[in-house]
Structure 1
Amino acid sequence: MNPDSLLRRVWSNGVFRYLFVGGACFLADLGLLWIMHALLGVPLVIATPVAFLLSFAITYFSQRYFAFQSESTLAPSVARYTALVAFNTVATTGIVWAADELGWSWIVGKVISVGVTTVWNFFAYRYWVFAAKNDGEVHV
């Protein structure tokens, strides 16, 4: 099989695009958290949600255009995404804090929170945030 054909075939899979884009956004989020907490000494309870929220626009547009190739109306999808981000911010902060309180590394908490939110976000993005305007379904 031609390598270009294989790459096109893999990229055409919506779950792969979601995980690839999400992975890149996770690295940006983790890097921001590391810079703020480890290098700048910002307390973890502040650095975690700030890093998470700074990746807001990057993640939204990357998931919208690359992962889900959505044509849904912009304003409603931004509002739904914002609600999901608010929920995820609280969940992420709680998980990272809990890991730290248990004596685990904050990085372990961050990885756990990403694993948990990755699963529910896929379904939330597909069926709610980026759902097509007319039929309620995005073709991934």
Structure 2
Amino acid sequence: MINKLLQKIPGGEQFWEVMRFLVVGGGCFVLEYVLLYTLTEYGHVPYLTSSAVAFTVSLLVNYFLCVTFVFHARNQSRKEMILFAATSFAGLGINQITMWFFVEIAGLWYMFAKVIASAVVMIWNYFTKRYILKK
């Protein structure tokens, strides 16, 4: 009921879209954060490798949820899938550079650096995915 009411308000549908994006993103962040910690601490995988693996797994889950739940996209074209993959690859690059900078240069613990990297990538992802997936 509130959803329908907010949809009638200018910007209401975008509000719910952002809320869905935050819920999906939050869940994927938890998944990625747990995978990063587990692979690094228990699997003894270097943090940048763990970060890339965790990012990729989280990305796949995020893609499925964004297409079906956040942006309600239907029948993605090949061009949209390629754009999604390209922007995701760029997001991985942003993640890795941010992680490296805050661990190696700023001297932060890799788990703190991940929070910063995730915030930067989240902003990148929202605007690029919204542009690609929004019909």
Q: State the TM-score, normalizing by the size of structure 2.
A: 0.83
Query: Does 2:34 correspond to 1:35?
Result: no
Residue 87 (1) aligns with residue 67 (2): no
For structure 1, the 5+ residue unaligned runs are: 133-140
Residue 106 (structure 1) aligned with residue 91 (structure 2): no
Name the structure 2 match of 1:16: 19
Structure 2 gap ranges (5+): 7-12
Kindly indicate whether the alpha-carbon contact (under 8 Å) linking 2:91 and 2:124 is maintained by their aligned counterparts in 1: no
Q: In the TM superposition, what are the counterparts of 1:45-84 in structure 2 within 5 Å? A: 45-84=48-87
The total of aligned residue pairs comes to: 127
Amino acid at match of 1:61: F
Structure 2 vs 1, CA of residues 9 and 111 (structure 1 numbering), >3 Å: closer, same or farther? farther
* Structure 1 or 2: more helix by fraction: 2
Two-structure CA RMSD over aligned residues (Å)? 2.1
CA distance in 1, matches of 2:117, 2:5: 30
Shift >6 Å, 4+ stretches: 7-10
Does structure 2 conserve the Cα–Cα contact (< 8 Å) formed by 1:14 and 1:67?
Answer: yes
Q: CA deviation at 1:9?
A: 6.6
Alpha-carbon distance in structure 1 between the residues aligned to 2:31 and 2:97: 20
